[in-house]
Amino acid sequence: SWSSVPLAPPDSIFKLSAAYKADDYPQKVNLGVGAYRDDNNKPWVLPVVKKATGLLLNDPSLDHEYLPITGLPEFTSAAAKLILGAESAAIREGRTVSVQTISGTGANHLGALFLSRFYNWNGPKQIYLSDPTWANHYAIFKNVGIEPINYPYYDAKTIGLNFNGFLSSLDSAPEGSVFLLHACAHNPTGVDPTSEQWEKLADAIMKRNHFAFFDCAYQGFASGDLDRDASAVRYFEQRGVPMLVCQSFAKNAGLYGERVGCLHVVGATKDAADRVKSQLSVLQRSEISNPPSHGARLVSLILTDASLFEEWKRDIQTMAQRIISMRKELHRLLTEELHTPGNWDHIVNQIGMFSFTGINPAQCEELVKGAHVYLTGNGRISMAGLNTHNIRYFAESLDKVVRG
Ligand code: PMP
């Protein structure tokens, strides 16, 4: 049996990691992986997470009972304040619903499932995704019967934002359409709208009664500042844009494997929020029954203890600043030392874990095959894979393929 099941291709990022692992070239570089690495290319357990783990281990009141269906209440309410802001009117007025999810992926899934069932669809179920976007978005929405369609986002000519294309697709989409927005540190391009552009986007969304589906996987990780990276989400909430937010603690707390996340839905009234919460509970029950406790306890401790929170902010700075310094160094090497043909300002203008280099698929292949530098075929590099030991080798390899 099962002999007629079609064989699916392996996930391209995980395939790239496997090829990197199997390569015994000493100077090999892995720029595919979407996880933070320290200057020695090692995973980094945040010191604040180590501390919080110690506190949990020594807490005799903890047991292994089920959490409530919607998650650990201290965690979900602290997580809501972190993304929406302590001053959020929606929180104060009891109009938000926050449900603990299986990291950001689970938040996207639960948000998608909820919309699929309860959004006031005027026509076919569709979601507008930026072109390009995190590849998993397509699968997540298709899984619940929502058809993904693209809106223009990245402009290959400027290696920046196609703002006019984005705006005109907001204007021309059917009234009440759902748009997925990356809250900060757009994956895969590293290109974000400016605050003035976010204002215009909010105007266009309000004018057409669209719905904002925010995906926030990099709060704090992008700029080093938790508030700055939440500013688009908070601005939309203040403007009264109908919205939900998917939140992940994988990157900013280095808790990739713990699967800590949250889905926040903002309602017009407390009554609306209560209705949403009742249905999210029903959906969550059938999907996972109850979310896992350990990671949520860790994050809850960090968010609610003032000194742990300060320490976390310092750890976030450590990660964000290392990445920003790699951007500056790569830019310096290409422009000042190697005089690589072309303009490389986008390397320092882009934000977050990823950078879109602008090189073509053939050049990417040459980097993989010729230089043992592993990256996806779209020219995206994970800045976290660069460090003071390999950045010169990478810059020289890039220079070579650009010169052809
Ligand atoms: N959304 C985006 C845009 C992402 O880049 C990621 C991480 N790659 C996620 C969601 C979800 O990641 P996780 O499920 O590990 O929180």
Tell me the CA–centroid distance for residue 104 and ligand 1, in Å.
5
Nearest atom, ligand 1, residue 106 CA: 14
Tell me the CA–centroid distance for residue 25 and ligand 1, in Å.
30
- 138-188 pLDDT, tens digit per residue, is 999 999 999 999 999 999 999 999 999 999 999 999 999 999 999 999 999
Closest CA to 82 of 295, 232, 226, 243: 226
Q: How many CB atoms lie within 10 A of CB 116?
A: 17
Q: Is the CB of 88 under 6 A from ligand 1?
A: no
- 78-102 pLDDT, tens digit per residue, is 999 999 999 999 999 999 999 999 9
Nearest CA to ligand 1 atom 12: 104
Tell me the CA–centroid distance for residue 105 and ligand 1, in Å.
6
Nearest atom, ligand 1, residue 133 CA: 3
Q: Is the CB of 214 under 6 A from ligand 1?
A: no
Residues 6+ apart with CB under 8 A from 239: 202, 206
Just list the catalytic residues.
134, 215, 251
- 234-257 pLDDT, tens digit per residue, is 999 999 999 999 999 999 999 999
**Contact call for residues 364 and 381 (beta carbons, < 8 A):** no
Tell me the CA–centroid distance for residue 180 and ligand 1, in Å.
13
**Contact call for residues 38 and 322 (beta carbons, < 8 A):** yes
Pocket test for ligand 1, best of 141, 180, 215, 260 (most atoms within 8 A of CB): 215
Tell me the CA–centroid distance for residue 337 and ligand 1, in Å.
35
Nearest CA to ligand 1 atom 8: 34
pLDDT computed for residue 15 by the predictor: 87
Rounded to the nearest integer, the mean pLDDT of the chain is: 96
Backbone dihedral region for residue 379 (phi beyond 0: left; psi -120 to 50: alpha; all else: beta): left
Nearest atom, ligand 1, residue 260 CA: 16
- Euclidean distance between CA atoms 266 and 272, whole angstroms: 9
Nearest CA to ligand 1 atom 13: 104
- Euclidean distance between CA atoms 382 and 357, whole angstroms: 10
Q: Is the pLDDT of residue 12 over 90?
A: no
- 49-73 pLDDT, tens digit per residue, is 999 999 999 999 999 999 999 999 9
Nearest CA to ligand 1 atom 11: 104
pTM above 0.95, yes or no: yes
- Give all domains of the chain, ordered by start, each with its CATH number: 12-44+322-403 (3.90.1150.10), 73-304 (3.40.640.10)
- Euclidean distance between CA atoms 212 and 153, whole angstroms: 16
Task: Kindly state the average pLDDT of the residues 189-218.
Answer: 97
pLDDT computed for residue 11 by the predictor: 84
Per-residue exposure over 204-232, b if at least 16 CB sit within 10 Å of its own CB, e if not: bbeebebbbbbbbbbbbbbbbebeebbbb
